[in-house]
Amino acid sequence: MTGELSPIDKAKFVAAKRAVDFIEDGMRVGLGTGSTAAWMVRCLGDLVRNDGLKIKGVPTSTRTAELARDVGIEVVTLDEAKWLDLTIDGADEFDQELNLIKGGGGALLQEKIVATASDQMIVIADVGKEVESLGAFPLPIEVIPFGWKTSKSLAEELLVSMDVLGQDVTLRMNDDKPFVTDEGNYILDLHLGRIGNPHQMAMVLNQIPGVVENGLFIDICDVVILGYGDGRVETRDINEGTIAQDRLEFEGSDNLFTDLQD
């Protein structure tokens, strides 16, 4: 039950629970990827099954698609949906301007495409994801396998002239093999420490031959919902310039999420 969850999982749960309040009947909704987004998909599935909510979900990864189907959400492709009312996703980091680093789960390409095809993007996160400056979390870039070492070398050369603290670039691995995305690409992780100019970084990285997309989400997120381990929820709307605070009570019957793993 939720009472048995760790504080970090309680924070994820309440953020997810608050986020699904934004979803209305008939909406086309982008479904994010990652541990926090998984809580949201489960919450949404509960509304579909028990409250009769009718939506179409566009997942950002194969694992999110599988989870959505398992909990009863109708899954469609982005091409079928054409445009989305809302996308809800997690983040690895976000700053005060609601710029994000995403891609820790390796789904950054689909996540960015889905988010930018939406009228609104809501990010759900625990309070530990907020940072003064982006970059402590490694910045992922998705590259095609052909010539990935060349793309890596070009990224390392580029970083010499950028306002960052670190310049180490590593290939993401899955055991003893390169991690492969849903699109069959590789991920390079940039260990930067701090990114002085995220806007510039996002633009120049995509100019490197072989780079498909980077994990900087700049001027895409509209709302961040922060969860706390004691049930508090803070909703920040950058367009409205508002901050709302609330608290969600944990019910003993809320045992829907106990099998979720980080």
Q: Hey, which residues are catalytic here?
A: 111
Alpha-carbon distance of 35 to 227, in angstroms, equals 14
Pairing of strands 56-59, 28-31: parallel
**Residue listed under structure tokens 């979390």:** 137
Alpha-carbon distance of 39 to 89, in angstroms, equals 10
